[in-house]
Amino acid sequence: MMRWLTPLLIALIALLQYPLWFGEGGWLRLWGLGDELARQQELNGKLRVRNETLSAEVRDLREARDALEEGARGELGMIRPDEVFVRVVPGGQNNQGDGK
């Protein structure tokens, strides 16, 4: 009887250990999920930085209406219908074309 009891107990222990190591919630799966979690956290950090940058740009575009208007006026020469465009030339320049 004792001759069969030891291998039976070893087999029982092995059967009980199998789910711990190789089952759905076992140690091997847990280690794999730990690596996957680290990669996902790194990706989330990069995406968080990108989202913060985009949020800052959106905020700037909403709040910086004057800067956009100034850019349109300076680069594109846009004026409002009720405005008069006046160009002021500095007095130190000779604009008569006589080369002096």
Q: Which residues contact 70 (CB under 8 A, 6 or more apart)?
A: none
Give the CA distances from residue 80 to residues 21, 69, 83, in Å, rounded to whole numbers and listed in that order. 74, 10, 5
CA of 73: how far to CAs of 17, 30, 67, 80, 97, in Å? 76, 60, 10, 9, 29
Rounded Cα gap, residues 62 and 56, in angstroms: 10
What's the whole-model pTM score? 0.44
H/E element, 15: helix 2-22
Q: How confident is the model at residue 97 (pLDDT cuts 50, 70, 90)?
A: low
pLDDT, tens digit, 9 for 90 and up, residues 15-65: 888 877 777 777 878 888 888 999 999 999 999 999 999 999 888 878 777
Give ∠ CA 73-77-80 in degrees, rounded to 5: 65
